[in-house]
Structure 1
């Protein structure tokens, strides 16, 4: 089986999620949307692959907003089309943070500014603990999802939806993929100043959390087995 991994920026990778997909026998194909040399001007041109050649698509997080086309340019339209095409073809999508927001937007939902950011390890209120445990899960976002038609909300915080299913796809607002190395890379790419500005201690954010890998692997297994039927 083959999975397409959409990496939006260079410090981010599939982490624990990719690790579990490999263990489940997937061949991973990565596309990096905005390379490091374009991080200050992410209005790049992207040659999007055809999702029909894959058994699953994973769309990761990003430091931008889905609706901020003035900053990120036209590539977001291409990604929304890819996600919509995958959904129409019954190809499962695992959307993570920005990827979840993009999937919601592609299917007729929306993304709006959250009343306050969620940063760091955060528990969620879940209706489906066997699929989306309460966590805690790592968060780093300033926007929130307005669910698309037909979506089923599975988990939430006071800020907004944290997980939903639609068709054979699962989308989560949090970051099951994060390893300490990923968080450290985010810090070195400007996240330390951002976290400090909002009252968070960067040194505490990069500390590994017991059970994070196991929860991430369990979520991937539940996505593959219960939602995607793979």
Structure 2
């Protein structure tokens, strides 16, 4: 799992993702650690409070874009979440722009894609940047009223990305309320089943590597 958070006070989302994959090796990309790709069965790219367009301030961002291109070339199963969704698309020529923060439970339109098996339309949106032009060979597999490119999948490589946060649950509600203008109505965390994405990704990764 590739951790991309630059703010120590915002590590909660990385921690939540790590908890979903307790046997995965964690790599702090920001701190200069790198993934030994010859040993990688799959890769997860976490979110970040950094913007993918901030490579002047964060030189590791350009390195991660090159890393994503190598993942695609090697056909290593990859899941990008939030910032991970954005950098996977910019690595392939897409565009990400600052659009204003959406911190809410939202209803998404999900394509008939195996990543979304058993996943309902209500998901956690927590982002201020958005993919406005998808990357090369990336098809849109999720959209929302506030974000047309809400999820993508590569046409040939085992690469899937989601702008929303399947790792965030009701357990994070207090933090969301404290730090963001969080909105749940008219939905509830009881409507959210996005955690199935992790199980689905593992199954897809196994299928892609056997």
The TM-score range, normalised by the shorter chain, is: 0.7 to 0.9
Mark the CA change 1:227 to 1:11 in structure 2 (over 3 Å): closer, same or farther: closer
Distance 1:62 1:8 in 2: 4
Q: CA deviation at 1:31?
A: 2.3
SS of the equivalent of 1:94 reads strand
Q: Which residue of 1 aligns with 2:161?
A: 171
Mark the CA change 1:184 to 1:66 in structure 2 (over 3 Å): closer, same or farther: farther
Mark the CA change 1:57 to 1:127 in structure 2 (over 3 Å): closer, same or farther: same
Mark the CA change 1:211 to 1:32 in structure 2 (over 3 Å): closer, same or farther: farther
Distance 1:222 1:186 in 2: 26
Q: Which residue of 1 aligns with 2:3?
A: 6
- Contact 2:103–2:125, Cα closer than 8 Å, also in 1: yes
**How high is the TM-score relative to the length of structure 2?**
0.79
Mark the CA change 1:47 to 1:5 in structure 2 (over 3 Å): closer, same or farther: closer
- Contact 1:125–1:156, Cα closer than 8 Å, also in 2: yes
- Contact 2:79–2:160, Cα closer than 8 Å, also in 1: yes
Residues 218-229 of structure 1: matches in 2 within 5 Å?
218-226=196-204, 229=207
Q: Which residue of 1 aligns with 2:148?
A: 160
Distance 2:24 2:173 in 1: 22
Mark the CA change 1:182 to 1:81 in structure 2 (over 3 Å): closer, same or farther: farther
SS of the equivalent of 1:162 reads strand
For structure 1, which runs of at least 5 residues remain unmatched after alignment? Answer: 35-44
Distance 1:126 1:143 in 2: 20
Mark the CA change 1:60 to 1:130 in structure 2 (over 3 Å): closer, same or farther: same
Q: Deviations over 1:165-221 (max 9, x none)?
A: 112011000000113455655666xxx2xx24xxx46xx69xx81254x431x2122
Q: How many residues align?
A: 197
Q: CA deviation at 1:140?
A: 1.2
Across the aligned residues of Structure 1 and Structure 2, the Cα RMSD in angstroms comes to: 2.8
**How high is the TM-score relative to the length of structure 1?**
0.73
From 77, 80, 84, the equivalent of 2:69 is: 84
Distance 1:222 1:147 in 2: 23
From 1, 24, 29, the equivalent of 2:25 is: 29
Mark the CA change 1:147 to 1:228 in structure 2 (over 3 Å): closer, same or farther: farther
